[in-house]
Structure 1
Amino acid sequence: MATNEARAARALPAALRLLATLLLLALAGIAQAAAPRIGVATMQPGRIFWERFGHDAIVVVDPATGRATSYNFGFFDLAEPGFVGNFIRGRMRYRLVALPLEDDLALYREEGRGVSVQWLDLTGAQALDLARRLEVNARPENAVYTYDYFRDNCATRVRDAVDATLGGELHRQLASRSRGSTYRSEAVRLASPAWWMRLGFDIGLGPRADRPLSLWDEAFVPMRLADALREVRVGGRPLVASETTILPHRIAPEPADAPRPLLPWLAAGLVLGIAAAWAGRRAPRATAAVALVAWAVMGLLGTLLLYIWLATAHVFGWTNHNLLLLNPAAWLLLPGAWRLLRGRAPGRLFGPGLALVAALAVAGLFLYWLSAAPQDNARWIALLLPLHLGLWAGLGKPGRRGRDDGR
């Protein structure tokens, strides 16, 4: 009898341990079952210029009700006091908004923009953590942030939220890899359906936009983030468990990567330069009429580039080497061009001004050659440098413009 009682006493702690283990497993299963489903929604580019880069959001599906909430970092208020001024100066205020997924999809459905969701393979604890942090982030006192086109936008906010949930694993896997793209190449590619927007990015971006991007940095583009998520593995398993197309894409697709050869730009520049030199000697009034428009545009663009550098927070437009090609000094040539157009001598300062503008353009070429990390503006140098030299050769030499009376 005593022996049986001893055996029972020894067995009791083991039974309690087993019961506790089973209870913990049951609780873990309940927690896992109660965890929300998390997805990253990617919206394809639209037709309007602010839609060209696409968009994304984080989708959280409540396990109890099945209700899907979209956490969208892309909201801004056009009626906000000073919005236009802040936009121009690069101090835009965006905010995170939590809204029913169906409400968020209404605009994309109407515009014909495709939407897909990548459902993430997260543990219950990770999914709960991300859902709770998004809920806190969406509160009015936390929702507003200072928007940056490249470094802090709707896609980078989604990327960073997922990365925080994974303990930095996303950054570890993406930061050391690159496809060689740059902020300029991605901006020009996505803006390409709108020629004015494409040229605006290419002219307005400075050398900071030309460093090669890691896959982590490249994820400022929502579609690139979706590509990167497909390659990430956590604990030996793909991070993306499945993908679902919610809305079909019914408009023009995302622009593909395309080469930008230098030769056509150089050929056009040489034709313009030779034509300017020849016409300036034989038909100075007609040449002055064309040059008047060209210099006015160059001066305007140069002044804008200078303003971006000195008076805005658009850091990727600072120290823009195109200032040497689209120089505000071109404004100084307008009075002389106007006098030539009227058949009068352009004045004593016109020739030196032409030489200065041409010399600055030549300096742009040397800056490109000598820079360890040059700005990707070789095409603009090839186009505009011959034109500057041609105008100088055609209009800037004494004896080619008639009598100079200094008036």
Structure 2
Amino acid sequence: MTSDRDLFVAYGALMGGALLPIYHGAYASLRTPRSTIEKLKARKKLSDADLSDYEEELDESGLPETLTSEDAYWLPVLGSAVLFGMFLVFKYLDKVWVDRVLGFYFACVGSFAVTKAFLAVVTGVLGRERIKNMDLTKLQLSRRVRKGGIKGKESKPQDLLIVRLTNIHPPVVVLSSIVVGAYLWNKHWILSNVLALSLSLSSISLLALDSFKTGSIMLAGLFVYDVFWVFGTNVMVSVARGFDGPIKIVWPKNLVEGLFDGATDWKMTMLGLGDIVIPGIFIALALRYDQHRYAKVNEKLLITKHDVDFPKPYFKATLVAYVAGLATTMLVMHFTKAAQPALLYLSPACVGAIVITSLRLGQWSETWAYDSNEEDAKADEEAKRAKGEAAGEDEADDDDDDDDDNDEAAWEGVKDDGSNATQHPRSTRSSTRKRKTSTKTDK
């Protein structure tokens, strides 16, 4: 029989395993503020300053995938369809072949996630500066959009994909391939956890909520989803236990007994990736909002995604709330001896943390009005306005130069021909400017 000591060791391991991708995934989701990118682009255009240290920031194009409120409404529906579909597949098809197909699929997807996770570990060990000084190969996929049909004018190239490869990439890719191959070979629970945590890390760093309103809608919808599929049916528990793949992190409930007493039959406790990724992207939003507030107050500073030394009240509050919610889930599960929908506790905890923090700091309206897409749109408008003003100044300078030339020509005409003595030089300048403007319009 598994002792309480072994169970609490397992709960602690699951807690630590969940916090690892959430914490690092939130920091990996940080992006250089749009205002900084526009400043760097303007500096690069106006001067020959060395901006090699900011090359990565100049290549950024914002958050890769942004979830809006419309997406949040659909998540419980799509999640239910996928979950019930997997339940039917396991019920009516050969479980062995289903495991093989899904295992191969998750291994292929997980190989990229494992590579990314290992690269993050190596970068943390060696240091970002040492990595930057390595030989760099940059792969860039761009496209041009032609406006006005085949004979129209081409726009500036738009980057679709930018990949930077250094000397550490080949050995990391080889190591990742070995890990994934070993997982496919024997499906060991430790290797499964490596893939599951890597997938969680990648998901949290790549998926971004646009606002706390969207996040609250998502958590509320999945709150109902989780409660229904766990308490209302046995579908979720059946799928989680039936599929031996990296869709959950597991830990032996009798690990201590096995290490010291020689037990060989592992009895696992588990935590689904949904209970990590869903709250994780909400917590990542809180960290990006802290960064946004700091950048807004310090507009004159060139703040990049690597500048993480800023106040983080919202991030800390949601992280503590997640720990409290997950601990509550485990305690209830421990005493009731029944599976619990973790989002029943995690969703109110995370949303409540934002509510309490915004009220405590007197930032309720600002916090709930925040929308990353609108902020990016404002930054783009300001950048366009600044470019327009700069272009207007350049055109005005050109016009002034033309005016000087016209004035000289007019005065020369007065001196050379007495019939022009009654003509004011200003009229010549005015007519010349009108003619110039009409020429531009015709073009």
Shorter-chain TM range is under 0.3
When you count helix as a share of all residues, which structure comes out higher? 2
TM-score w.r.t. the length of structure 1 is 0.22
TM-score w.r.t. the length of structure 2 is 0.21
The higher-RCO structure (CA 8 Å, 6+ apart) is 2
